[in-house]
Amino acid sequence: MDFNLTPLNKMVIKTARAFCETEIPAIDAYMKEHNDYPPYLQEIFAKHHMLGMDIPKELGGIGADNFNLILIAEEVGKTASTCMLPFFMNNSVAETICHWGTEEVIKKFVPPLCDGTAWASMAFTEPNTGSDPRALTLTAEPDGDDFILNGTKRFISMANKPGPGVFFAKDLSMKGKPFDTTAFIVDKMSPGITFSGHYELMGLDGADTCDVFFTDVRVPKANILGRQGKGFPILLRWIAGERIQQCAATIGGGQAALDESVKYGNQRVVGGFPMGYMQGFSWMLADMKTRVEACRLLCYKTVKLQDEKNKGFEAASSELKVLTVPLIQEVCRQAVQFHGSYGYSKEYKVEKIFRNAMHLGVVASSLEINKTIAGMTILTQK
Amino acid sequence: MKIIVCIKQVPDVTEVKWDENGSLIRTGLPSIINPNDKNAIEAALTLKEEKGAEITVVSMGPPQVEEALREAMAMGCDHAVLLTDRKFGGADCWATAYTLGMAIKKLGHFDLIFSGVEAMDGNTAQVGPEIADFLGLPLLSYAEAIEVGEGTVKIHQKLGDLTRVIEGPMPALITCEKELNVPRIPRMDLVFECFEKEIKVLGMADVDGELENFGLKGSPTRLRKVFSPKRAKAQVEFLEGTPKESSQKLVEKLHEINAI
């Protein structure tokens, strides 16, 4: 077993780090001022050819793999910038459309997600459900060559930005069948779609998360992703990949929390010598480092499984989240504690990292639902 | 247009350490493309975008210089040549310029050669001009702006507080200043592509030349000693009084030591 990164992996990290140092300060400054993403954000990622990582070159992608995408995610995560969300979303939705879509759908929707002219979204959550397809209330009723969609989606990222979103709806033409969830690729600027204002979140400053209201929204039948009534497996596969990216970014945040603590521990002088050398603090650093390292290794193992393509990685990505949520959240809490009162101040980066880390346990599937997936898989696998 | 860019891989430190023989201790130090050489790469890439060009990046050094060459290709250079041979080791500016010059002759036709003004680990600013001398090329050094015309090239040459505009016929060699441009970040797709490209590796036998001109043997300069200057501990004296009084005391002190 080789734990070493290849020269390619190392250059990907170096390049991602250079991207973060060069581009992200201006992006964050814009987001702080406008409480939203810069309208040209995806073009910035596209200019650096960071979209469509796992998409074939002929569709405008890079033709790389998810492992290298994870390395980038870690570096972006270290910055604690919310701009990581649209970056992940365009990558993961483009891959999902490529995996499940018809040739027509792929050619129509994937290239704009790679060249940065479109913003992707993925929308399952509703006011009364985040993981149960039977509880969906967004309905899709057939009408000629179209479906008419009515209802509400909740907590949707990048929903009010132009581009395609994959929306999961109760397909009324499948009434009486055991599975009635169908995935539709919807142009988010379609007539009949309106949005709420942005939710004020605990972390992820500047995120544009909002509700989406459908009133008689017409969507062509050709925009169905996968098969009718078979939408839920699309969500499960997508969210399994999204979880890995989300964990990688949060592990990056944990690493940054550790790095900030090491810096502070060397700089802050107490009783004539650097604070970090006191046993209580050095033990905290040891705890933080080993937790980050353990999560990173499981993350790499999980994404390698995803890259094997022919094996399921859904349960493995749930296991990753089961490990990462408590460990990295604790690392970030320790970093705040390490900084004392300064850690509770917005002057210090660890405050933002801590707030961001809290999202991992509840966004893109909760810790508890992942424990259920992982636990049930252990019980039922042969 | 064919452009050759000469680059050097250097340790990424501001305070390097040397062993007792005066050699750099490279172990544990990350390596980077010399910052001025990145300006040279960017200048070539800008010309490629404006006028079309094929860029070959050349470097002399140990096998690990491959990393710097691949990074240059990830920035957009088309080809890479690595000059590596134990007999090249210990080369001073003259021997380095000789080796690079002989290799460039082997590479065939070119219109322009770019290099950085100087390397951050040596600061001699000699290699670029000496390559021009070996190859009998016009030298346009310390460029902070470049304009390519029909068979000619014009630069703004940085001369302290002055800027001199000079022009020469092509082919020519230009050494690039940091004010010339802001080097780009490698493009992520090219990062992947650069590992699929072949790097041409040339040793002493491939570049011809006289054996006695390569490496330490061919170097007219000899390194006697490298040391870190000892820092004397300064005495700190507080000048008491009102701002006016302490200012007067300061002026007296400066007079005493003939500083003013």
The nearest CA of chain B is from the CA of A3 a distance in Å of 19
Contact B185 A22 (CB under 8 A): yes
Contact B190 A49 (CB under 8 A): yes
The nearest CA of chain A is from the CA of B14 a distance in Å of 19
- CATH number for the domain whose boundaries are A7-114: 1.10.540.10
> Taking a contact as any Cβ pair under 8 Å apart, which residues of chain A between 28 and 87 contact chain B?
48-50, 53, 57, 62-64, 68, 72
Q: List CB contacts (< 8 A) between B190 and chain A.
A: 49
- For A48, the closest of B70, B185, B194 (CB atoms) is B185
B188-217 residue pLDDT tens:
999 999 999 999 999 999 988 888 889 988
Reported as a pLDDT band with limits 50, 70 and 90, residue A6 is very high
The domain A238-380 is classified under which CATH number: 3.20.20.140, 3.40.50.300, 1.20.140.10, 2.130.10.30? 1.20.140.10
- A293 three-class SS: helix
CA A374 to chain centre: 19
Q: Is the ipTM beyond the 0.95 threshold?
A: no
- Kindly list the structural domains of chain B, giving each domain's residue range(s) and its CATH number in brackets, ordered by start: 2-213 (3.40.50.620)
**Neighbour-count burial for A155-177, b at 16+ CB within 10 Å, e otherwise:** bbbbbbbebbbbbbbbbeebeee
What is the reported pLDDT for A312?
A: 85
Q: Does A18 touch chain B (CB under 8 A)?
A: yes
Rounded to whole angstroms, what are the CA distances from A86 to A73, A196, A371, B57? 12, 19, 27, 36
8 A C-beta contact, residue A180 and residue A140: no
Superfamily (CATH H level) for A121-229: Butyryl-CoA Dehydrogenase, subunit A, domain 2 (2.40.110.10)
DSSP state of B64: G
In DSSP terms, which residues pair with A14 in a beta bridge?
none
Q: List CB contacts (< 8 A) between B74 and chain A.
A: 11, 15
User: Average pLDDT in the A95-99 region?
Assistant: 96
A242-284 residue pLDDT tens:
999 999 999 999 999 999 999 999 999 998 999 999 999 999 9
Contact A63 B192 (CB under 8 A): yes
Q: Does A11 touch chain B (CB under 8 A)?
A: yes
The nearest CA of chain B is from the CA of A42 a distance in Å of 15
Contact A7 B67 (CB under 8 A): yes
B227-253 residue pLDDT tens:
777 777 778 888 999 999 999 999 999
A63-80 residue pLDDT tens:
999 999 999 999 999 999
pLDDT at B28 over 90: no
- For A64, the closest of B71, B192, B194 (CB atoms) is B192
Contact B188 A48 (CB under 8 A): yes
pLDDT at B256 over 70: yes
- A123 three-class SS: strand
Domain boundaries, chain A: 7-114, 121-229, 238-380
Q: How many CB atoms lie within 10 A of CB A181?
A: 23
Contact B186 A11 (CB under 8 A): yes
Instruction: Please name the helix (run of DSSP H) or strand (run of DSSP E) that holds residue A114, with its range, or none.
Output: helix A103-114
Rounded to whole angstroms, what are the CA distances from A380 to A14, A375, B226? 42, 9, 69
Q: List CB contacts (< 8 A) between A19 and chain B.
A: 185
